[in-house]
Amino acid sequence: MTSPQRPIRRSLPWLLAGLSMIGPFSIDAVFPAFPLIGARFGVDSVGLQQMISVYLITYAAMSLFHGAISDAIGRKPVIVAGMLVYALASAGAALSTSYGMLLACRALQGMCAGAGLVVGRAIVRDSLAGAAAQQLMSRVMMIFSVAPVIAPIVGAQLLFLNGWHGIFWVLMGFTLMLALALILFLDECHPPEARTPFHPRTLVGGYLEFGRDRHFWPLLISCSVNFAGLFLYISSAPHIIRDLLHLSAQGFPWLFLPVVTGLAVGAWLSGRLASRRSVAFTVNLGYGSMLAACAFHLLAALVSREPTLPWSMLPLVLHGIGVQLAFPTLTLLLLDRFPHRRGGASSVQAFASLLLCAFVAGVMSPLLSGHMLYLALGASLLTVIGWFSWRWYHAITRRPLAAQHLGPTVETELQTEITEPR
């Protein structure tokens, strides 16, 4: 079953990109402020890392509900309310008088930020189908890709103006302006007749339905692990920049510029390939790029005991390209498993991905960020898990039973690619 093609405003990709940028800004912009926050509240580096973990854990937990609520009351109210409460939490973080208060505000930020990411993906699939949906998703991700490199640069510059407080004031202003733009320019794309009631029993029943679908699990794992390998480097940025590369707060672009270049190029390529090549080709190409990046990272770490610029950071370009090639297609395949519960399916995917990212930031990063070889091994393990999950999905879609449940969606194209290779 496909969604009807409906006219969309030219502002939609920019609005969705703005919503997607909340996550990277919330994480990356605070990295340069870690030393100041630690000195202000007497917190060590391990404690400071919990600013990321707490944000991601609440982000993941609430993501289970954002999509289901939007399935019940519409997409627009959920997104606008989320941005307004996020702005309030940012103001509270800027005014924090203790580290506990700051962590509480970070938790509230996480609870609200997911509204944009989770519901935004459902909006893409509500509005467009097939190659057009993949192209819009890729355009959004290409615009979004500037956020990881802008965030730490902006954060570092704000330290000269108002210390770490200024970072949270800027986040508050950005989300307030975004909420206003959403009110004025975002059209509701989930009409009342398509909505499903929000009830605990319905919610649990829907998630159990997802769990019984054997195609859902490999897609969920592949989607969730897709970004985790790259995120290991992003969440370890303070250690890589300060401890391994011995740079100041102004050195963050050495890591984030390769990341954002790769993400932008990968998003552009994904959009170009949407109507030219099959989804199987695009995802395979993405994983090939990610695996090549892991191999280069391992080789660089084995050849040189100390990371060197720019060679130690250049493989991040390949990794970013691979992530963005694979992710839009994997996401659309996942959402198409349940056309009437796309919000809920997006919620589950976001929950799994963010929970994994919280583990990466809170556990893997502190353990592995002392050496580039350890980081390369960790990123390689995560990427290989994603690759095997994608191959698992390939294997079960070869079976005749799977074809009986496919509709005229992007998944049909995958089945054609598998049974009739080019």
Residue 108: alpha-carbon gap to chain centroid: 18
Could you tell me if 74 and 148 are in contact, meaning their C-beta atoms sit under 8 angstroms apart? no
pLDDT tens for residues 407-420? 444 444 444 444 44
Question: What's the mean pLDDT when you consider all of the chain?
Answer: 80
Q: Is the peptide bond before 310 cis (omega within 30 degrees of 0)?
A: yes
Whether pLDDT at 322 is above 90: yes
Work out the angle at residue 231's Cα, subtended by the Cα atoms of residues 244 and 233, and round it to the nearest 5 degrees.
10
Q: What is the arithmetic mean of pLDDT over 206-224? A: 83
Other CB atoms within 10 A of residue 176 CB: 17
Domain boundaries, the chain: 12-189+202-419
Instruction: Report percent pLDDT > 70 for the chain.
Output: 86
DSSP class of 407:
-
Q: What is the arithmetic mean of pLDDT over 249-273? A: 81
Looking at CATH, the fold of the domain delimited by 12-189+202-419 is given as Growth Hormone; Chain: A; (1.20.1250)
Could you tell me if 123 and 189 are in contact, meaning their C-beta atoms sit under 8 angstroms apart? yes
pLDDT of residue 26: 84
Q: What is the distance between the alpha carbons of residues 64 and 82, in angstroms, rounded to a whole number?
A: 14
pLDDT tens for residues 365-407? 888 988 889 999 999 999 999 999 999 988 887 644 333 333 4
Q: Over 335-402, what HEC string results?
A: HCCCHHHHHHHHHHHHHHHHHHHHHHHHHHHHHHCCCHHHHHHHHHHHHHHHHHHHHHHHHHHCCHHH
Q: What is the arithmetic mean of pLDDT over 64-81? A: 84
